[in-house]
């Protein structure tokens, strides 16, 4: 699945750093999380990333950090360009063994005045990455890695908050259960939504599952499944000429009225206007 118009990816596997350059059209990503730290830099267009009960806007020339295992969802403009960087926590722990004792947060909305210079310095560093990608001088991947390491050094020293808590076994179980739910949805999203099926799969009561999911994901299970369906449907509308209703039904939507209502809510337009490129 991919509704990215053009995407160049190279992964620096040996270092635990992945750098993604993208140009995409109207992407929405349902609530999800990563074990790696996620860094975003906007080159063109606008976007919004929602996490920790806040909406974080991302515009050209600005930078945003999403910490590990923070549940978030994203909404991008009809056309946007940017860089996404993923940095492995295990890689960072080679240099900062007690990394789990820190929470990292860096976005324009939460920026303290005294941190502005550091934030702008990070934005300047990020500007060099697309230049490296375009020119690709000898050893450019080495230079890109060095830039990311410099950015991480600033983040750790200026935007990390030490927390007096260690990851509990309960936290681990929560993430394991969420990962299991995520895998189940990926496999079964085309099927009719059944709270009984997913709760039975997890060995939970229907009521407990509903509370658990809403508490940790911020939305109810049925809406989450429908959002996952919409992402697949949008991709097929953009990349195929199949009938839109056939596409919707293929990905689990049998209520066309609900489908069009949610599609307009998420993408700000009708499915047919996306097909026409408007």
HEC secondary structure over 235-275 = HHHHHCCCCHHHHHHHCCCCCHHHHHHHHHHHHCCCHHHHH
Which domains, ranges and CATH numbers included, belong to the chain?
Answer: 4-162 (2.60.120.10), 169-275 (1.10.10.60)
DSSP state of 5: E
Q: What pLDDT score does 133 carry?
A: 87
Residue (of 108, 66, 59) closest to 81 by Cα position: 59
Determine the Cα–Cα distance for residues 54 and 108; give it in Å rounded to an integer.
Answer: 12
Structure tokens at 81: 């360009």
The average pLDDT across 234-260 equals 94
Q: Are 133 and 140 in contact (CB under 8 A)?
A: yes
59 DSSP β-pair partners: 46
Structure tokens at 261: 């209502």
- Could you tell me how far CA 222 lies from the centroid of its own chain? 20
- The structure's pTM equals 0.82
Cβ neighbors of 135 (< 8 A, separation 6 or more) are none
pLDDT at 79 exceeding the cut of 80: no
Determine the Cα–Cα distance for residues 224 and 248; give it in Å rounded to an integer.
Answer: 16
Determine the Cα–Cα distance for residues 98 and 277; give it in Å rounded to an integer.
Answer: 49
pLDDT at 152 exceeding the cut of 70: yes
The average pLDDT across 72-99 equals 88
Q: What is the pLDDT of residues 153-211, one digit of tens each?
A: 999 999 999 886 655 556 888 989 999 999 999 999 999 999 999 999 999 999 999 99
Q: What is the pLDDT of residues 2-57, one digit of tens each?
A: 444 444 455 656 679 999 888 877 778 889 998 899 999 999 888 889 998 888 98
Structure tokens at 185: 């949805």
Residue (of 263, 193, 268) closest to 235 by Cα position: 263
Q: What pLDDT score does 5 carry?
A: 43
Distances (CA, A) of 268 to 52, 56, 251: 24, 18, 20
Determine the Cα–Cα distance for residues 244 and 269; give it in Å rounded to an integer.
Answer: 14
Determine the Cα–Cα distance for residues 59 and 57; give it in Å rounded to an integer.
Answer: 7
DSSP state of 115: G
Q: What pLDDT score does 12 carry?
A: 56
pLDDT at 118 exceeding the cut of 90: yes
């Amino acid at each position: 699945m991919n509704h990215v118009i053009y995407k160049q990816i190279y992964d620096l596997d040996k270092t635990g750093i992945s750098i993604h350059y993208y140009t995409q059209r109207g992407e929405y990503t349902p609530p999800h999380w990563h074990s790696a730290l996620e860094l975003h830099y906007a080159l063109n267009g606008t976007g919004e990333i929602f996490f920790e009960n806040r909406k974080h806007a991302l515009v050209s020339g600005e930078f945003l950090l999403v910490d590990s295992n923070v549940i978030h969802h994203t909404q991008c403009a009809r056309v946007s360009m940017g860089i996404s960087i993923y940095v492995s926590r295990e890689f960072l722990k080679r240099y900062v063994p007690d990394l789990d004792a820190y929470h990292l947060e860096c976005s324009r909305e939460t920026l303290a005045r005294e941190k502005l210079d550091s934030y702008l310095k990070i934005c300047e560093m990020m500007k060099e990455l697309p230049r490296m990608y375009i020119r690709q001088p000898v050893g450019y991947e080495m230079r890109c890695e060095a830039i990311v390491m410099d950015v991480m050094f600033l983040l750790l020293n200026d935007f990390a908050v030490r927390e007096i808590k260690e990851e509990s076994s309960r936290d681990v179980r929560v993430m394991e259960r969420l990962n299991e739910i995520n895998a189940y949805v990926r496999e079964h999203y085309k099927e009719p939504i059944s709270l009984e099926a997913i709760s039975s799969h997890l060995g939970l009561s229907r009521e407990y599952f509903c509370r658990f999911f809403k508490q940790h994901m911020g939305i109810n299970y049925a809406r989450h499944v429908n959002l996952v369906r919409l992402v697949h449907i949008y991709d097929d509308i953009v990349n195929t000429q199949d009938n839109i209703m056939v596409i919707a039904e293929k990905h689990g939507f049998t209520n066309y009225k609900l489908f069009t209502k949610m599609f307009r809510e998420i993408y700000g337009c009708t499915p047919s206007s996306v097909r026409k490129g408007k």
